Amino acid sequence: MLNPELKLNSKIFEEPERKSIRDGYGDALLELGEKNPNVVVLTADLAESTRIHKFAEKWPERFIECGVAEQNMAGIAAGLGISNKIAFISSFATFSPGKNWETIRTTIIYNNSNVKIAGHHAGISTGPDGVTHQATEDIAIMRCLPNIRIISPCDYFEAKKATLYSATIYGPFYLRFVREKTPIITTEETPFRFGKIECFWKPKTESAEIAIMATGHLVYQALLAAKELEEQGIDVYVFNVHTIKPLDEEKILEVANKVKGIVTVEDHQIHGGMGSAVAEFLAKTKPIKMNFIGLQNTFGESGSMEDLIKKYGLDKEAIKEAVKNLILP
């Protein structure tokens, strides 16, 4: 069942409202702009697509249009971030942190500049735009950098809360957003605790053998899988791993000591992503059977989000199969 303590959306299994995760980012920036005059926003010719156009219209003196020059955007933001500003840089994730990764590394991360990197249109859920715009390696290239914090929100409300939170902590963040409208899983009352994984689905009994750990919009597919597995007599946990770095190692170890296997779920390559982070930690603390849902060493292609999720084995059916495979002797 959905964890009642977290005040999640009770209509998630009916016809849930859908809203773009990127809109949570844009709305949070409007709120931050009102509260803090040191917030500045930059983009590389993608203001509307990254939902910062409203901020730009309201505070043009705090908005910088860098044009199609992602490396320049990162360098400018790095200077602002060490000059008492809170800089948000916004572009498609294939371009930022993709195209400008070295500039981010050397000017922002190395200098611990107060810059928040918003990577939009992440994952194959970008759909019709195709492989050139589907960032499925971004978690890996950012996770390897020292001194970075990474958040992958599951829905609109969590994206808004994550963006607001990032502005309260000095230093670089990577915020990962998807484009398409996705189900709203949480509510305004659902707590957001940075650095913690949250149990969104609780089994009927404490004898559940499998835990599903999902991140981003695929938390919804994990919840659908959990409900259908329960109807088949298979109890599981579902955890929302919104914070990928730093990983909630204490809770993950606690879960690993309780179950016989873990399934990780992400709209990203299975190499270097959230699942890899979990596996790396458990390899040295509590080796356990694992299955990894994500892109299996392949690029995506053009298509609808729904069709691509199904084709590449990221949907509820693939998750259910991964769970059952861990239960079988």
Per-residue pLDDT of 269-324, as tens digits, reads 999 999 999 999 999 999 999 999 999 999 999 999 999 999 999 999 999 999 99
Q: Is 77 helix (H, G, I), strand (E, B) or coil?
A: helix
CA distance 51 to 178: 12
What is the pLDDT, as a whole number, of residue 259? Answer: 97
Q: Which of 70, 180, 198, 266 is an active site residue?
A: 70
Q: What is the pLDDT along the chain (329 residues), one digit of tens a residue?
A: 999 999 999 999 998 999 999 999 999 999 999 999 999 999 999 999 999 999 999 999 999 999 999 999 999 999 999 999 999 999 999 999 999 999 999 999 999 999 999 999 999 999 899 999 999 999 999 999 999 999 999 999 999 999 999 999 999 999 999 999 999 999 999 999 999 999 999 998 878 999 999 999 999 999 999 999 999 999 999 999 999 999 999 999 999 999 999 999 999 999 999 999 999 999 999 999 999 999 999 999 999 999 999 999 999 999 999 999 999 86
Residues 6+ apart with CB under 8 A from 226: 201, 212, 236, 238
> Is residue 28 within 8 Å of residue 3, measured between CB atoms?
no
**How many CB atoms within 10 Å of residue 243?**
24
CA distance 25 to 54: 11
What is the pLDDT, as a whole number, of residue 133? Answer: 94
* Assessment of whether the complete model's pTM goes beyond 0.95: yes
Structural domain spans, the chain: 18-183, 195-327
> Is residue 134 within 8 Å of residue 318, measured between CB atoms?
no
Which CATH architecture group holds 195-327?
Answer: 3-Layer(aba) Sandwich (3.40)
Q: Is 112 helix (H, G, I), strand (E, B) or coil?
A: coil
The dihedral over CA atoms of 240, 244, 248, 254, expressed in degrees to the nearest 10, equals 60
306 catalytically annotated: no
CA distance 247 to 210: 19
Question: Which residue in 250, 248, 302 sits closest to 274, CA to CA?
Answer: 248
Question: Which residue in 182, 215, 175 sits closest to 93, CA to CA?
Answer: 175
> Is residue 273 within 8 Å of residue 246, measured between CB atoms?
no
Token pair 């659908």 is found at 224
Sheet arrangement for strand 86-92:
63-65, 39-43, 86-92, 115-120, 173-176, 149-151, 243-245
What is the pLDDT, as a whole number, of residue 328? Answer: 81
Pairing state of beta strands 243-245 and 149-151?
A: antiparallel
Q: Residue 230 to residues 201, 205, 258: CA-CA distances in angstroms? A: 11, 11, 18
Fold agreement (18-183, 195-327): yes
Topology adopted by domain 18-183: Rossmann fold (3.40.50)
